[in-house]
Amino acid sequence: MSKRVILGLSGGVDSAVAAALLKDEGYDVHALHMTNWEDDDGYCTAAADLQDARLVCEQLEIPLHHVDFSRQYRDRVFEYFLDEYRKGRTPNPDVLCNREIKFGVFRDHALRLGGDLIATGHYAQSGIVDGRGALFKGRDADKDQSYFLHAVSAEALAGTLFPLGELPKGEVRNIASDRGLAVHDKKDSTGICFIGERPFREFLAGYLPANPGPIRTPEGDVVGEHRGLMYYTLGQRQGLHIGGIRRRPELPWYVVAKDLDDNALTVAQGEHELLFSERLAATDAGWIGAAPAGLDGGLRCRAKVRYRQPDQDCVVTGLGGGRLEVRFDDRQKAVTPGQFVVFYDESRCLGGAVIDAIG
């Protein structure tokens, strides 16, 4: 009897092709579509995505299950998202969604459906190293999603298949088109589902009160007014609305700091030194399997502080209690508290931590 695989089917092209490939390999494929947000205002595409998932399952002749995880998403992901913004940080909810939902409650539900394995359409690869589940980069460097999967447990990875892990995106599109899948030309989703296509500020203002304050230079000169610190992130250039200022060069302005105590946004022009840092402090470190050896004395590895950034050489030192210090060989631009620093040994993802402060 073939193994049953419960595939997370979003209604997009990637998971649809993953379903087709798994069926080709002889697995007993069941699709599980998740609703993670109440579609109460027309911005989220949950209803349309469910319909697309149904069409794909009809074409591939596989069963479709549907489950609503909106309550768990609000409790485990969205509340964290809001709390981080209250603290003036810039969170990445996709990381928590993977850990808490897709490889948490989804996995539990899949096991109740009789699944031997789970699968998703992520561009990543899983394997077993020293008897434990391990995570590796996807073959397509432009689409690799290991950054967003770094907080998934070794136990979950040991029972997970990533059918697209060795494929480039272009080939996935070609497979979908060649097979006539209903979603072959569907646009890739971008951003966060619960925000959808609406303006970010409009969405956030519905949950957190805006608190305008001064925009100032590192020297203390006031050059404008911000709409609320939560709307800005370090390194941001667009949307500052700072006009020409006398005796100032014609250089772009960047956000270089946020002062919660004074409710002030600090900006500087050009490649200002405040945009760069060689070290960061991180908290809530999590490793895929056992923590790597050598942390106490300083572990040399590579890391990235944002998705799509090339891996950067660094030394990571454990400080106890899930705290880390990371020192980079080269200065890093716009390292942002609330985002994640993710560590690699060649193509293997070791884990990551939440960026807490820069220095």
- Tokens for 66? 């549907």
- For residue 221, is pLDDT > 90? yes
Residue 309 in contact with residue 341, Cβ under 8 Å? no
State the pLDDT at residue 283: 98
Q: How far is CA 80 from the centre of its chain?
A: 14
Say which range, 113-127, 128-142, 162-176, 247-261, has the weakest mean pLDDT.
Answer: 247-261
Catalytic residue among 97, 301, 314, 349: 97
Give the 3-state secondary structure of 198-248.
CCHHHHHHCCCCCCCEEEECCCCCEEEEECCHHHCCCCCCCCCCCCCCCCC
d(CA 168, CA 181): 18
- For residue 236, is pLDDT > 80? yes
State the pLDDT at residue 241: 87
State the pLDDT at residue 245: 77
Q: Average pLDDT over the chain, rounded to whole?
A: 93
CA distances from 205 to 73, 92, 211 (A): 20, 18, 10
State the pLDDT at residue 246: 75
Tell me how many degrees the CA angle 108-144-299 measures, rounded to the nearest 5. Answer: 90
State the pLDDT at residue 228: 94
pLDDT, tens digit, for every residue of 75-103? Answer: 999 999 999 999 999 999 999 999 999 99
**pTM of the shown model:** 0.94
Report the DSSP beta bridge partners of residue 222. 216
Q: Where are the beta strands (DSSP E) in the chain?
A: 4-8, 28-35, 64-68, 117-119, 124-129, 132-137, 160-161, 213-216, 222-226, 253-259, 264-269, 276-287, 299-304, 312-320, 323-333, 340-345, 348-358
Catalytic site residue 349? no
Catalytic residue among 44, 57, 193, 314: 193
pLDDT, tens digit, for every residue of 155-200? Answer: 999 999 999 999 999 999 999 999 999 999 998 876 666 666 667 8
Provide mean pLDDT across the span 138-160: 97
Provide mean pLDDT across the span 138-161: 97
- For residue 41, is pLDDT > 70? no
CA distances from 107 to 16, 167, 178 (A): 19, 24, 31
Catalytic site residue 97? yes
Domains of the chain (ranges, CATH numbers)? 4-178 (3.40.50.620), 210-270 (2.30.30.280), 275-358 (2.40.30.10)
Amino acid at 228: G
Place of tokens 């050896």: 293
User: Are β-strands 340-345 and 299-304 bridged in parallel, bridged antiparallel, or unpaired?
Assistant: antiparallel
